[in-house]
Structure 1
Amino acid sequence: MADTNAALRTPTDLNRNDTKSVADALNSALADSFALYFKTKNFHWHVSGPHFRDYHLLLDDQAAQILGITDAIAERVRKTGNLTLRSVGDIGRRQTLTDNDADYVSPGDMLAELREDNLKLVESFRTVKQAAEDAGDNATSGIVDEWTDQAEERAWFLFEASRKG
């Protein structure tokens, strides 16, 4: 039986078995990034209350930042000679963050939930970092630091925006 993925196998000097673990970690982080992007946009569209404008703009900025890294994550998977996500169903099977389909979520609960989700994404990026270092994949190891910093900053902004008084 022919290897159907052979046509997409990008040349790399990295060990294929090692890059598979990096790709799995990256694809998990990518699925969570898409899930977090959509949840952030959901809350952006449905936020209400006295801080509407501030929260609306904050969540829109954060969603744009999250979406901005998805292509870089997917392309990193491909550069290591592996395959990345292909569909919404694939995202759903791999994501570890929970969706929120509630008809109403208070603004404070929105900020708290997104803060926790961003911190979970940080954990996912740390898993990517470790897998990359174990594989000798210094490019992935280096680039994931920026994604981690961005997620930590989003969590910090959400924390500060939710403080009372």
Structure 2
Amino acid sequence: MSKAKTDKISPDLDTPSDLPQAAVDTISVSLNVLLADAFALYLKTKNFHWHISGRHFRDYHLLLDEQSDQIFATTDQLAERVRKIGGATLKSIGQVAKLQTIKDNNEDYVPPREMLRELMQDNKHMAAAMRKAHKLADEQEDSGTAGLLENFIDETERRTWFLFEATRQEGSNAA
């Protein structure tokens, strides 16, 4: 199962924590998946930002730029939280690729509304994953991780809402 802390962390990086090693390991795994997904969602949002077209170009371009900045801002905090509790965090794009659950989109062209809908679903996925990680942190009595995730959940729900509203059909109450 999980290895001892000394098998995973160099003694020079062995951050002291009052959390049991099993809690550190479990929370670190959960946060590293969130971190991989944040990098994947950041790059997808930037991809769509760079390739958006159409009559709402400026609004969508600015929206996606703002959202990508918000997503990127979470990465350092997630990684540092892993380190604060004594875990090891991601070290490479290869690790991101192995852990991410957000699917890449490498299509040559994606219509603007489809871009926004895809990002809306990805943000919903992230919020659900953050809730699971929050529950795990609560179970392990890690209030620092839980508190950090509460803010990120709120920001992710806000992005989801904005993407939903941007994709609604004019004169329609349904998306």
* Higher RCO structure, 1 or 2 (CA under 8 Å, sep 6+): 1
Q: Which deviations, in whole Å up to 9, do the C-alpha atoms of 1:63-104 show, x marking residues without a partner?
A: 000000100000000001000000000000000010000000
Q: CA deviation at 1:164?
A: 1.3
- The one-letter code matched in structure 2 to 1:129 is H
Equivalenced residues, count: 164
Partner Cα distance (2:69, 2:111) in 1: 22
Q: CA deviation at 1:51?
A: 0.3
Q: What 5-or-longer segments of structure 2 have no aligned partner?
A: 1-5, 171-175
Q: CA deviation at 1:106?
A: 0.3
Which residue number corresponds to residue 128 of structure 2? 123
Instruction: Check if 1:33 corresponds to 2:38.
Output: yes
Of residues 41-50 and 5-14 in structure 1, the stretch that sits farther from structure 2 once superposed is: 5-14
Which residue number corresponds to residue 117 of structure 2? 112
Which residue number corresponds to residue 99 of structure 1? 104
Q: Which deviations, in whole Å up to 9, do the C-alpha atoms of 1:107-155 show, x marking residues without a partner?
A: 0000000000000000110121011111110111111000000000000
Q: What secondary structure is seen at the aligned counterpart in 1 of 2:88?
A: coil
1:36-75 → structure 2 map (5 Å cutoff): 36-75=41-80
Q: Give the TM-score normalised by structure 1.
A: 0.97
1:3-18 → structure 2 map (5 Å cutoff): 3=7, 5=9, 6-18=11-23
- Give the root-mean-square deviation of aligned CA atoms: 1.0
Q: CA deviation at 1:40?
A: 0.1
Partner Cα distance (1:54, 1:138) in 2: 38
- The one-letter code matched in structure 2 to 1:39 is K
Which residue number corresponds to residue 164 of structure 2? 159
Q: Is the Cα contact below 8 Å between 2:82 and 2:88 reproduced in 1?
A: yes
Q: What 5-or-longer segments of structure 1 have no aligned partner?
A: none
Instruction: Could you list the structure 1 runs, at least 4 aligned residues long, displaced by more than 4 angstroms after superposition.
Output: none
Give the share of equivalent positions with the same residue, in percent.
49
Q: Which deviations, in whole Å up to 9, do the C-alpha atoms of 1:23-69 show, x marking residues without a partner?
A: 11100000000000000000000000000000000000000000001
Which residue number corresponds to residue 22 of structure 1? 27
Pick closer, same or farther for the CA change 1:4–1:95 going to 2, 3 Å: closer
Q: Give the TM-score normalised by structure 2.
A: 0.91
